């Protein structure tokens, strides 16, 4: 189409006939082009890109039937409807037109109502075909993207899951093996130290397993109905501060005494989450902030109620994220993993986002790369 109009190529060795067709199709949504011969018509296809061809049968040198055969033999133009314009009326002549690939024909002298009706009908069919082709291409592209994403996810999941499971398992197995082989020669302090290694690995494995099972539950429709239907709990200062301070203390002891300063500015509210999922949400948010900010920095947890909406945010002065990274947050996705060698499957923020969505809320991130990140959550208030 040209300028949102259907492009029609009129092929006739008599220029006056083009003028007649132009008058008959006046004020229609068509852009008309003219070719005085079959050779000119074929040569102009790429330039005019017609949606329909009106082709005169009786032309010197190369008649319309021959032109029709040539055009229909060209793959890129096979789908363009061709209406043969002819003074011939015998069945054999009309059969020749159809056998050449013509889609329709109209007899001379041309009737304006018939011409408009046949042109409209052929263009409607062409438009439907174009729509189907566009949908087919879209589906093919979507399938390719999904296959590529799925293959990437499989590879990421296999390598990441294998590594995250094997690391604590090897810690447990290695420690037990050492104890079995040499426990008689060890003093109590050595045995306690090695058992501490095994316990640390077991805790890591337990945390990983619980997180993965949580993710599976959140993606399971039956579990979604079970845990989110009519669920609600009170977001209380005491609960939140106790849970997060305890988690931060445990994180400190497991990560070389890495210490962060937690600041709270909380307003209480009744929200549409169970106690279980509220705690999961809070812990995952804090774990993300702790993992990606330097020891000694401040992490601020804030909440307030505005217009019957509960707003929760967690701010850290850590590595930050680029806009592209924010847009790519998903399961088993981690950024700069090789650079920073962080543990985990990249499930934390995906779990938080899913919990918020299932509770009817909104999740967003604002960040300045290498400076700060704030995660924003809004949830509807449960009216008592």
Over residues 107-128, the pLDDT tens digits come to: 888 899 999 999 999 999 888 8
Of 65, 104, 48, 64, residue with least CA distance to 81: 104
Over residues 221-280, the pLDDT tens digits come to: 776 666 667 788 999 999 999 999 999 988 887 776 678 899 999 999 999 998 889 999
Alpha-carbon distance of 133 to 143, in angstroms, equals: 15
Burial class (CB in 10 A: 0-12, 13-18, 19+), 175: buried
Q: What pLDDT score does 30 carry?
A: 92
Q: Is 118 helix (H, G, I), strand (E, B) or coil?
A: helix
Is 150-219 in the same CATH topology as 6-110?
no
Q: Where are the domains of the chain?
A: 6-110, 150-219, 223-380
> Treating both helix axes as pointing N-terminal to C-terminal, what angle do 91-99 and 64-72 enclose, rounded to 10 degrees?
30
Alpha-carbon distance of 124 to 129, in angstroms, equals: 9
| Chain mean position to CA 241 | 37
Q: What pLDDT score does 341 carry?
A: 42
Share of the chain above pLDDT 70, in %: 86
Distances (CA, A) of 132 to 139, 254, 286: 10, 58, 49
Matching residue, tokens 């079970």: 226
Under CATH, which architecture does the 6-110 domain have? 3-Layer(aba) Sandwich (3.40)
Q: Is 373 helix (H, G, I), strand (E, B) or coil?
A: strand
Q: What is the pLDDT along the chain (384 residues), one digit of tens a residue?
A: 444 689 999 999 999 999 999 999 988 889 999 999 999 999 999 999 999 999 999 998 899 999 999 999 999 999 999 999 988 767 777 788 888 899 998 988 889 999 999 999 999 988 888 888 888 777 777 776 666 655 555 555 555 556 667 777 888 888 888 888 888 888 898 888 888 888 888 888 888 788 888 888 887 777 666 666 778 899 999 999 999 999 998 888 777 667 889 999 999 999 999 888 999 999 999 988 998 888 889 999 999 999 999 999 999 998 888 888 777 765 444 444 444 344 444 678 888 998 999 899 999 999 998 899 999 999 999 876
Under CATH, which architecture does the 150-219 domain have? Orthogonal Bundle (1.10)
Q: Is 249 helix (H, G, I), strand (E, B) or coil?
A: helix
CATH domain 223-380 topology: Heat Shock Protein 90 (3.30.565)
Burial class (CB in 10 A: 0-12, 13-18, 19+), 135: exposed
Q: What pLDDT score does 163 carry?
A: 62
């Amino acid at each position: 189409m040209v300028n949102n109009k259907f492009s029609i190529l009129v092929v006739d060795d008599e220029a006056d006939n083009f003028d007649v067709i132009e008058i008959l199709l006046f004020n229609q949504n068509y852009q008309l082009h003219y070719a005085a011969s079959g050779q000119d018509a074929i040569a102009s296809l790429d330039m005019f890109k017609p949606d329909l061809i009106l082709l005169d049968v009786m032309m010197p040198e190369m008649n319309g039937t021959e032109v029709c055969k040539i055009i229909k033999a060209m793959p890129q133009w096979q789908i363009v409807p061709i209406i043969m314009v002819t003074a011939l009326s015998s069945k054999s002549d009309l059969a020749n037109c159809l056998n050449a690939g013509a889609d329709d024909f109209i007899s001379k002298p041309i009737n304006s109502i018939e011409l408009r009706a046949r042109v409209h009908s052929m263009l409607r069919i062409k438009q439907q075909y174009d729509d189907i082709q566009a949908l087919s291409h879209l589906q093919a592209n979507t399938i390719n993207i999904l296959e590529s994403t799925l293959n990437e996810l499989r590879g990421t999941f296999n390598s990441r899951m294998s590594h995250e499971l094997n690391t604590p398992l090897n810690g447990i197995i290695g420690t037990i093996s050492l104890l079995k082989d040499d426990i008689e020669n060890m003093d109590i302090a050595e045995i306690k130290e090695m058992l501490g290694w095994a316990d640390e690995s077991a805790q890591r494995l337990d945390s990983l397993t619980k997180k993965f099972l949580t993710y599976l539950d959140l993606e399971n429709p039956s579990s979604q109905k079970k845990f989110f239907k009519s669920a609600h709990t009170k977001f209380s200062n005491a609960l939140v501060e106790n849970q997060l301070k305890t988690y931060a203390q445990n994180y400190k002891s497991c990560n070389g005494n890495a210490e962060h300063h937690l600041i709270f500015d909380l307003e209480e509210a009744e929200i549409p989450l169970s106690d279980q999922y509220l705690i999961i949400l809070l812990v995952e948010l804090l774990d993300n902030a702790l993992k990606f900010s330097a020891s000694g920095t401040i992490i601020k947890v804030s909440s307030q109620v505005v217009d019957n909406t509960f707003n929760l945010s967690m701010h850290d002065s850590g590595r930050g994220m680029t806009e592209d990274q924010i847009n790519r947050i998903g399961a088993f996705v981690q950024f700069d993993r090789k650079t920073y060698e962080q543990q985990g499957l990249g499930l934390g923020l995906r779990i938080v986002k899913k919990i918020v969505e299932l509770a009817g809320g909104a999740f967003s991130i604002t960040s300045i790369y290498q400076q700060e990140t704030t995660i924003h959550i809004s949830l509807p208030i449960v009216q008592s």
